[in-house]
Structure 1
Amino acid sequence: MKTLAKAVTASVLVLILQGSAPYLLGTSAVQAQSPPDATVSDAAMGKMNTYVEFLNQTLRASESLQRYDSWVDMKKGPTGKERIIYGMYSLYDVRELAGKALASAQEEPKLPELDAAMTAYVETYQQLAPVIERANKYYERQDYKSDKMADGKAFHKDIAALSPVYEERRKTVDAALRTEKVKLDRASLLALEKAEGKKSRWHVRNVMFRAEAVMDV
């Protein structure tokens, strides 16, 4: 459930980032007075949204692992004697999104910790996903009835080895996203202050950022 909560946070992040866009770049005053900052913020926001989209779509792997964990003793693996064999869930095709995420990690602006975390996460996902897909089909076909769970036990070795790495790297990406989101918020607030001063829009934006920070605690 912790993984699910993290992923939901990622879903919220993309909405927050998109909602912040007009305040970062939406006024000619801000763009005219600080175009370099605006351009960097816009590019960083685009990169982060690419990352969040990949996180959202790969949440299915977390859900599949949770389903698997609900009926399998992760220390022993499946035996074929379980009261109910739920299997796993199929995954979404994220090959294009994975390519975009990896490409974004090489692009400007560089966000070293986040870029490295996302690259590691994508690589781990690409190792885990094929195993989940094969295992899902195996359980859907109920092949464990004919091979006495032989392949199920083989799949479990890979799942047990890769899933903790996957979970940890997903958490690392989530934490790095939060950090960069705070930086973007501060940059947008500073740009707005330079353009208009601490007027009503600045105060509204400041209150919203503070509220988001409290929600993330």
Structure 2
Amino acid sequence: MKRDLLSTVIGCALLLAGVVGCDDNKTAESAPVSSTASATPVPANPSTSSNVSKNEEKSTDSESIVSEKMHVYIECYNDIDETIYRSIQSYSTWLADLKKGPTGKEEYVYGISKITADLDKCHANMSEVAALKPELEPIDKAALPYINSSIDIVNVINKMNKYYEQQDYKDDAFAKGKELHTQFMQAFSAFKSTSDTYSEAIHEINDRRQAQLLKKIEAQEGKSFDYYALSIMLTSKKINQAIQSDKLDTDATMKQVQDLGEQIEQLKSKQGEAKNDSRDRKPQASTFIDAAEKYLLDAKTRVRRIRDNTPLTTGEKMLMENAPQMVDGTFEKVMDSYNQMVTWFNAMGR
């Protein structure tokens, strides 16, 4: 169970990385106005012009609301989900079996980490944006069950934290600890279900919006630096999804990795062109490219390790317990590189 929980936390890291562009500082920006746009004649029919203007305004308003929703939904997810799973991870470390809970015979008792995230604020914000029109499905329907189940499990976790912090188990032979564990497992079952549904909804919407953004950039700018930067992020996310599969098609995934390498080379070419024009220079672009190449190497190493069925060494097995991101060819190391790449992608701005 301990291993499964760790994998879930890494899944959260994937989501954190997967939301690049969702703050919509990138997606909501309007296209640059061309020099010929101001010379466009005003339509003779003022009502037509008015209708067009209203339609554009309505479209902008709708996009603004969608962006607001996604900002709230993702911010709360990032604040809550991994924190809860890490708390559960801390609880599982001293239990022989998480499902069964404490027996009273444990050699060491470490309790469970307290959660201080502002769930009430998230509940208020998520309730507010979920009611806004237009509807954004499937996430609007997934949002409130998620935050409600989060509140339920956090309430139980914090009661458990106090119980173990005060060492009350020494006075009641773990009686309340066992009672709280039953409540915990019920809350955890509900939380995990809603968390999985909510996470999938964020991914679905985010993937759709990023694909639309990529097309928009290509239509406005051609295959520019921004185009290749975002394309690299989208391709990398597909690679992440492939390499965490139980049955990896190494040949197909290696082709994706090679395609990523070609995109990075195209990006480097665009960066070289930008050096000749200060207006096109991107802050942190070189660091992003370095991070992308590091991710590329780690992704290749992961695919090769699975393809060649390379076993873990004794030293690597030890590292896997506490620092799997340090082991070459692990999914955790790929994700660590990916998250670094996301950091620098966001730092570049647009």
TM-score by length of 2: 0.55
Structure 2 unaligned residues grouped into runs of 5+: 1-5, 35-52, 242-350
From 61, 66, 69, the counterpart of 2:89:
66
Which structure would you say has the larger RCO, counting Cα contacts within 8 Å and 6 or more residues apart? 1
Residue type at the aligned position of 1:159: F
Matching residue within 6, 11, 30 for 1:6: 11
After superposition, the Cα gap between the structure-2 partners of 1:213 and 1:61, relative to the gap in structure 1 and judged at 3 Å, is closer
Q: Counterpart of 2:26 in structure 1: which amino acid?
A: P
Q: Distance in 1 between matches of 2:56 and 2:225?
A: 17
**AA at the equivalent of 2:85:** S
Go from structure 1 to structure 2 and tell me whether the alpha carbon gap of 1:208 and 1:158 turns closer, same or farther (over 3 Å shift): same
Check the 8 A contact 1:60/1:89 in 2, yes or no. Answer: no
What is the distance in 1 between the residues matched to 2:179 and 2:218? 59
Distance 1:209 1:34, change over 3 A: farther
Counterpart CA distance in 2 for 1:183 and 1:37 is: 17
Corresponding residue for residue 54 of structure 1: 76
Aligned to 2:113: 89
**Which position in structure 2 is the counterpart of 1:189?**
214
The correspondence of residues 41-190 of structure 1 with structure 2, limited to 5 A, is 41-58=63-80, 59-72=82-95, 73-94=97-118, 95-190=120-215
Does the CA-based 8 Å contact 1:87-1:139 persist in structure 2?
A: yes
The answer as to 2:41 corresponding to 1:16 is no
The DSSP-based 3-state class of the residue aligned with 2:21 is helix
- The structural deviation recorded for 1:125 is 1.0
Give the whole-Å Cα distance in 1 for the aligned partners of 2:218 and 2:62.
17
CA drift at 1:35? 5.4
1:89-124, Cα deviation, whole Å (9 max, x unpaired): 110232112211222222133112111122111111
Question: Does the C-alpha gap of structure 1 residues 215 and 50 become closer, same or farther in structure 2, counting only changes over 3 Å?
Answer: farther
* Residues 189 and 40 of structure 1: CA distance in aligned 2, closer, same or farther (over 3 Å): farther
Structure 1 partner of 2:289: none
Deviation at 1:38, TM superposition (A): 4.4
Q: Cα offset for 1:136? A: 0.4
The CA deviation at 1:189 is 3.5
How far the C-alpha of 1:16 sits from its partner, in A, is: 3.3
Deviating more after overlay: 181-190 vs 9-18: 9-18
Contact 2:214/2:231 (8 A) holds in 1: no
Structure 1 unaligned spans of 5+: none
Could you give the per-residue CA deviations for residues 146-199 of structure 1, whole angstroms, max 9, x where no partner exists?
1111110110111111112212221211111111012212332344455x2635
Quote the offset at 1:69 in angstroms. Answer: 1.8
Amino acid at match of 2:9: L
**Amino acid corresponding to residue 12 of structure 2 in structure 1:** A
CA RMSD of superposed structures (Å): 2.7
Question: Mean Cα displacement is larger for which, 170-179 or 130-139?
Answer: 170-179
Q: Which of these two proteins has the greater Rg computed from alpha carbons?
A: 2
Counterpart-to-counterpart distance in 2, 1:15 and 1:206: 9
| Cα separation, 1, equivalents of 2:66 and 2:93 | 38
One-letter amino acid of the structure 2 residue matched with residue 22 of structure 1: K
Residues 71 and 85 of structure 1 are in contact (CA less than 8 Å); yes or no, is this contact kept in structure 2? yes
Q: Structure 1 residues 46 and 198 mapped into 2: Cα distance closer, same or farther (>3 Å)?
A: same
In percent, how many aligned pairs have the same letter? 23
Q: When the two structures are superposed, what TM-score results if normalisation uses the length of structure 1?
A: 0.85
Aligned partners of 1:161, 1:23: CA distance in 2, in Å? 40
**Cα distance change on mapping 1:215 and 1:42 into 2, 3 Å:** farther
Q: Is the 8 A contact 1:65 1:88 kept in 2?
A: yes
Residue 110 of structure 1 aligns with an amino acid whose one-letter code is: E
**Against the structure 1 CA distance between its residues 212 and 29, is the aligned structure 2 distance closer, same or farther, given a 3 Å change threshold?**
farther
